[in-house]
A and B are shown apart, each in its own frame.
Chain A
Amino acid sequence: MAPFILRASCNALPSSTFNSPWYSQGGKSNLMKKNSYLLIIAVAGLGLFLSVRMSAGPADSSPSLKGAVKFEGTPPKPSRIDMSQDPLCAKAHSTPATTEDIVVGADGALANVVVYVSDGLGARTFQPPQQPAVFEQKGCQYKPHVLAMQANQKLDVVNSDETTHNIHPSPANNREWNMTQPHGIPLEQTFAREEIAIPVKCNVHPWMRGYIAVFKHPYFSVTDKNGSFDLKDLPPGTYTITAWQEKLGTQTQKVTIGAGEAKTLDFTFKQ
């Protein structure tokens, strides 16, 4: 099988390679003919195999679980943040900055809610992604306000402000660290254990507050300004799905998703 594959792959090479001894020797022409039949059979076989794979695709591929989180009632008005203590922070905002602890958009869409699988994955273990999670300090606020990442995934802390920050997470289940970061200096950290969610503060700028949720699996999502979340590539199974909001607490729902099934799940928070 191995030499055949080698020869078949040679056929796909540019014409210049046809000058190789394999093709210039006339005595091998019968062999070549034989091989081209084999090649046709192989291509057809591969095609059949692929089409079977593709038709089986949707059944094999993971189900999806999407949904939205809403805030019911009159949303609290965000408070203004007085940044006058540090002029470098104040001048980064043309309109006064506001608090982000409860961010409600159009039609009660609730942003910054972490939606995740809290039970149902059993003893499965997951490698952290290569791509680092990014937590940015911009306008003396955290972007995103709520970050979700996997345990042992790299965390790139970015300071886009002109002023100097110190990034100080207060974990209960991870090691506490506290690092000063002037503008433009790279800072790479990580968290080893699951924790939902670690409060992050800057002692220099007391109004700064954000959260980092750390998971031992990749099935989490943070709602965007439309309140939407998307738990991608979830294997079929029965799960407990939890929605966490920093001020409004947690809610859970059970859901069973079969192979290839697309389900939606909505959460509603009240104050």
Chain B
Amino acid sequence: MRRTIKATRTAVILMCLLWCITSAAQDSHIGKLVGNAKRGKALYVRYCVFCHGPDGDGRGESAPYLVPKPRDFTKAVFKCRSTASGSLPLDSDLYDTITRGIHASGMPSWKPLLRQERADLVAYIKTFSSAFQEEKPGEPVPIPAEPPNSAESVKRGADLFQSMNCWSCHGKDGRGHGPSVASLTDNQGNPITPFDFTSGTRFKCGETNRDMFRDLLTGLDGTPMPSFAAAMTPDQRWDVIHYIRTLSSSKTHSAGKNDSIQTVN
């Protein structure tokens, strides 16, 4: 009798522990916000399922009509991250993407949702891939202060745009018509076009110079855009950014303003 009570007690404790572990793995942490996957699921079914599908594999009812295709969450590969190429994003990276939306795609900004709701969605999205339970996200890449823009910096950036072979996709004039364009696909095998730098500055992962610096460090995983972490020094990255800014007629960017990051602290 005593033994049965003991066994039951152990089982209850073990179940509680298991529940704690699994529910913790389904949380998201964005600053002080803690997202809950269960609440996130209710929101996902209401707002996201039409494109991303009930299984999170990007095969929702609207998916056939969308270019680029909705993200397949089961692969846990994300374009917009603050972590190194090949590593999982931070919860705040997913939160920022939901908040910002992705320009020139079907993904709108979900800023109208409450912050808590966006955090809950992040928690639920992470349940589609076991990667979030098996691996830790990467460390956020360091973004140093931007040196002042100058004609010399732009000139150096133009040279790097050549030597780093940016032109083979983005084109010599930055219009996105480089010689490799016809061969470019995303990780699902769909054709993908490089950004046309003359079209403006609404980049997929944010519009500021800091966002561009981060893109150059992390690459956009799942696309042909590589990381330049090993390839360039921080100053060289700023030079390339200063040059790319000259390709666009848009003057709306601000070096210091960091308006695309909505992380709650």
Does A59 count as interface, using CB distance less than 8 angstroms? no
Interface residues on B, range: 20 to 34
Q: 5 more A-B contacts (CB under 8 A) besides A165-B165, A166-B224, A176-B86?
A: A85-B179, A164-B163, A164-B164, A181-B231, A203-B183
Question: Do A179 and B168 touch across chains, with their CB atoms under 8 A apart?
Answer: no
> How many angstroms from the CA of A167 to the CA of B227 in the assembled complex?
10
Q: Which residue of A lies closest to B168 (CB)?
A: A204
Chain A residues with CB below 8 A from B182, complex form: 206
For residues 226 through 251 of chain A, which have their beta carbon under 8 Å from a beta carbon of chain B? none
Chain B residues with CB below 8 A from A166, complex form: 165, 224, 226
Q: Which of B77, B87, B164, B180 contacts A203 (CB 8 A)?
A: B180
Question: Do A182 and B231 touch across chains, with their CB atoms under 8 A apart?
Answer: yes
Taking the nearest CB of chain A, how far is it from the CB of B147, in angstroms? Answer: 21
Which DSSP category, helix, strand, loop or mixed, fits chain A's interface? Answer: loop
For residues 58 through 112 of chain A, which have their beta carbon under 8 Å from a beta carbon of chain B? 85-86
> How many angstroms from the CA of A86 to the CA of B167 in the assembled complex?
11
- Size of A's binding interface in residues, CB under 8 A: 25
Question: Do A179 and B219 touch across chains, with their CB atoms under 8 A apart?
Answer: yes
> How many angstroms from the CA of A226 to the CA of B131 in the assembled complex?
41
Q: Which of B77, B85, B165, B221 contacts A163 (CB 8 A)?
A: B165
Taking the nearest CB of chain B, how far is it from the CB of A167, in angstroms? Answer: 8
16 inter-chain pairs at a CB distance below 8 angstroms, sorted by A residue, are: A85-B168, A86-B165, A86-B168, A164-B163, A166-B224, A168-B226, A176-B222, A177-B86, A178-B224, A179-B219, A179-B230, A182-B164, A203-B184, A203-B224, A204-B168, A204-B169
Taking the nearest CB of chain B, how far is it from the CB of A184, in angstroms? Answer: 11
> How many angstroms from the CA of A85 to the CA of B221 in the assembled complex?
25
Which DSSP category, helix, strand, loop or mixed, fits chain B's interface? Answer: loop
Q: Which of A163, A168, A185, A204 contacts B230 (CB 8 A)?
A: A185
Chain B residues with CB below 8 A from A189, complex form: 86
Chain A residues with CB below 8 A from B229, complex form: 179
For residues 149 through 186 of chain B, which have their beta carbon under 8 Å from a beta carbon of chain A? 163-165, 168-169, 179-180, 182-184
> How many angstroms from the CA of A203 to the CA of B165 in the assembled complex?
10
Known contacts A85-B168, A176-B86; A182/B163 CB under 8 A: yes
Return the CB mask of B169-212 against A: 1 if under 8 Å, else 0.
10000000001101110010000000000000000000000000
Does A254 count as interface, using CB distance less than 8 angstroms? no
Return the CB mask of B16-54 against A: 1 if under 8 Å, else 0.
000000000000000000000000000000000000000
Chain A residues with CB below 8 A from B86, complex form: 175-178, 189
Known contacts A170-B187, A204-B180, A206-B183; A179/B227 CB under 8 A: yes
Chain A residues with CB below 8 A from B222, complex form: 176
Q: Which residue of B lies closest to A167 (CB)?
A: B226
Taking the nearest CB of chain A, how far is it from the CB of B233, in angstroms? Answer: 11
> How many angstroms from the CA of A151 to the CA of B230 in the assembled complex?
23
Question: Do B179 and A175 touch across chains, with their CB atoms under 8 A apart?
Answer: no
Question: Do A177 and B221 touch across chains, with their CB atoms under 8 A apart?
Answer: yes
Taking the nearest CB of chain B, how far is it from the CB of A87, in angstroms? Answer: 12
Known contacts A175-B86, A176-B222, A180-B226; A203/B231 CB under 8 A: no
Does B228 count as interface, using CB distance less than 8 angstroms? yes
> How many angstroms from the CA of A179 to the CA of B84 in the assembled complex?
10
Known contacts A85-B180, A203-B184, A204-B168; A178/B219 CB under 8 A: yes
> How many angstroms from the CA of A187 to the CA of B227 in the assembled complex?
12
> How many angstroms from the CA of A175 to the CA of B187 in the assembled complex?
12
Residue of B182, B184, B187, B222 contacting most chain A CB atoms (<10 Å): B187
Taking the nearest CB of chain A, how far is it from the CB of B254, in angstroms? Answer: 27
Does B225 count as interface, using CB distance less than 8 angstroms? yes
Does A205 count as interface, using CB distance less than 8 angstroms? yes
Question: Do B227 and A177 touch across chains, with their CB atoms under 8 A apart?
Answer: yes
Return the CB mask of B217-245 against A: 1 if under 8 Å, else 0.
00101101111111110000000000000
Chain A residues with CB below 8 A from B226, complex form: 166-168, 178-180, 203
